Amino acid sequence: MKTVTALEFDAITKKGIVLVDFSAEWCGPCKMIAPVLEQLSKELADKVKIITVDVDVEQELAQRYNVMSIPTLLLFKDGSVIGQVVGFQSKAMLEKFIQRAYVN
């Protein structure tokens, strides 16, 4: 999973389906969800791009998307946010969450 900067963010999220994990190194639930996201990024590589934004480094991005708690996961489709979940999520729940992009 790639950690992206504000400079890369818009270019990456403007096309296709992208799941963005807003997190921080010190965040316990973020550390718990990271292996799940890593696994999904491999299993669903042909369907969704999964990236991470470090909220301590990219505070403006976190503010732009009103990230108040972490981990916050935003699902983008062609540049628009189509879903959001906050906190640790199971692999099954995240798979269902990602599927929303294919229904809209």
Going from N- to C-terminal start, the domains of the chain cover 2-103
Tell me whether residue 27 is one of the annotated catalytic residues.
yes
The per-residue pLDDT for 1 is: 84
Catalytic: which of 18, 30, 40, 61? Answer: 30
pLDDT digits (tens, 9 = 90+) for 49-72: 999 999 999 999 999 999 999 999
Residue 85 DSSP SS3: strand
**Pairing of the two strands 72-77 and 80-86:** antiparallel
The per-residue pLDDT for 82 is: 96
Maximum alpha-carbon separation in the chain: 35
Task: Provide the CA 104 distance to its chain's centre, in angstroms.
Answer: 18
Q: What DSSP element (H or E) covers 10? A: helix 6-13
Catalytic: which of 27, 37, 67, 94? Answer: 27
Q: Looking at the domain 2-103, which fold is it?
A: Glutaredoxin (3.40.30)
Task: Provide the CA 49 distance to its chain's centre, in angstroms.
Answer: 9
Model pTM? 0.95
Tell me whether residue 30 is one of the annotated catalytic residues.
yes
The per-residue pLDDT for 103 is: 76
